[in-house]
Amino acid sequence: MSATPITLVPRDASVDHTIQAIVTGDQTAETCNTDLALGPWNFDTRPGYGPGSSMGDVIPVGAPRQGELPQEYRDTTEEDLARRIRAAKETLGERVLVLGHFYQREEVVQHADYVGDSFQLAGAAKASPEAEAIVFCGVHFMAETADLLSRPDQAVILPNLAAGCSMADMANIDQVEECWEQLADVLGDLDTPDEDGRVPVIPVTYMNSSAAIKGFVGRHGGIVCTSSNAHTVLEWAFARGQRVLFFPDQHLGRNTAKAMGVALEQMPLWNPRRPLGGSTPETLRSSRVILWHGFCSVHRRFTVDQIEQARREHPGVRVIVHPECPMDVVDAADESGSTDYIRRAIAGATAPTTFAVGTEINLVQRLAAEYPQHTIFCLDPVVCPCSTMYRIHPGYLAWVLESLAAGEVVNRITVPDEVADPARVALERMLAAKPPSSPALRAAPEARA
């Protein structure tokens, strides 16, 4: 068990500033990699996810790479980039919409027109038909989802193409097709329902997956879920299937199904590198939820030890974690819920409260700054942001916006029609089952910039 006291990071919402202070020795907290103090362009030509929580994950060979960011955007100051971003946005006016994910660095989020989780932001894109371009400050699957839900003539732009998601990359379409074939060998014709009208297996994918996976799910009678509606979506799937194939996040699948009363022994793990995913035919036949061997390296950092330490050092602390955390962590916490749930839980606390939060540090530090009446800290004492969210930096945002203002669209993300059509079917099934999370997006007006 770690004996290091939990360090409360300063109320300055900038994780970048905290990391710089750690690297220069002005702050005593730890970071998982001092390379985080460098500009992401230092990593764009190297294979790998870059510094941060996904550092140790295996990046697919064909993962998109980002070309060289022009030198003028690397050499300048934070203040100059902020000025240039504001000027480009002013020039573009309503022609551009900038979206910022909760896990983005503060220096990017301050320029966003909307801040939210991936689905809330895709909804903002859909609700802004006047925008010719949508600059998505998030990761690759989020930009794909925005492209699926926006008008065909709207260009969705990802400021750094290397901003993938290591969890989404853990389920690629070839592996999933192969899994489906193997399941058919064991379970029989996957399209033939039993006497109750339920087919052998319904595929369910988390929003954090590629458009190709969402398309697969749409083609095979399946559905998409988010971390806020996974329970309802699993009920939908169990009404139509004897079992569920859930990907890519094993933890969200396990935590949700367990809360619904599914026994752990009926939730085998599917390892795509092993025959039958590492299971036996008997295990697969008696399963209720087959969990893909995927995880989020940000949320896997949280432990029961950290929760116990928080309780020792902060009696009365309220521990809230994200359902992408491992099951023992979710079980040990006081509450678990999506990023939107966490944000609303803190916003709704009327008396000064101490919160220990198990989710990405950029969101936690921003919440700590927004709600100074509370004590809010990240359960993980090591400052370790999401490696791929980190790849978006104001330098790239300035570059894509100034390119747009000059009439050039760079880094456009487009989902081909043959993938997009079934992927939209899977998303529409989710919306019909239950729209995810809260309706209102937190608008971040220009005054924030």
| Residue 296 interacts with ligand SF4 (CB under 6 A): yes or no | yes
| Residue 388 interacts with ligand SF4 (CB under 6 A): yes or no | yes
The full length of the chain comes to 449
Residue 199 or 296 with smaller CB distance to ligand SF4: 296
Within 20-59, the residues that bind ligand SF4 by CB under 6 A are: 54
The count of C-alpha atoms lying within 13 angstroms of the C-alpha of 387, restricted to the half-sphere facing its C-beta, is 27
Q: Is residue 354 a contact partner of residue 313, using CB atoms and an 8 Å limit?
A: no
| Residue 325 interacts with ligand SF4 (CB under 6 A): yes or no | no
- Burial pattern 200-223, b for ≥16 Cβ within 10 A else e, equals bbbbbbbbbbbbbbbbbbbebbbb
H/E stretch holding 354: strand 354-358
Q: Is residue 222 a contact partner of residue 205, using CB atoms and an 8 Å limit?
A: yes
Minimum CB separation from ligand SF4 for residue 299, in Å?
6
Encoded one letter per residue, x for contact with ligand SF4 by CB under 6 A and - for no contact, window 226-255 reads: ------------------------------
Which residues 6+ apart lie within 8 Å of 253 measured at CB?
A: 204, 206, 230, 244, 246, 247, 267, 289, 291, 292
Map residue 321 onto helix, strand or coil.
Answer: strand
Minimum CB separation from ligand SF4 for residue 45, in Å?
21
Q: Which span (161-169, 266-274, 328-336, 346-354) binds ligand SF4, by CB under 6 A?
A: 161-169
- Cα 444 → chain centroid: 20
Minimum CB separation from ligand SF4 for residue 293, in Å?
15
Q: Which span (60-68, 159-167, 197-205, 439-447) binds ligand SF4, by CB under 6 A?
A: 159-167
- Burial pattern 135-155, b for ≥16 Cβ within 10 A else e, equals bbbbbbbbbbbbbbbbeeebb
| Residue 380 interacts with ligand SF4 (CB under 6 A): yes or no | no
| Residue 99 interacts with ligand SF4 (CB under 6 A): yes or no | no
Residue 54 or 309 with smaller CB distance to ligand SF4: 54
Encoded one letter per residue, x for contact with ligand SF4 by CB under 6 A and - for no contact, window 133-152 reads: ------x-------------
| Residue 85 interacts with ligand SF4 (CB under 6 A): yes or no | no
| DSSP state at residue 357 | E
Minimum CB separation from ligand SF4 for residue 297, in Å?
6
- Dihedrals φ, ψ of 231, to 5°? -60, -50
Interacting residues toward ligand SF4 by CB under 6 A: 54, 103, 139, 165-167, 208, 296-298, 360, 386, 388-389
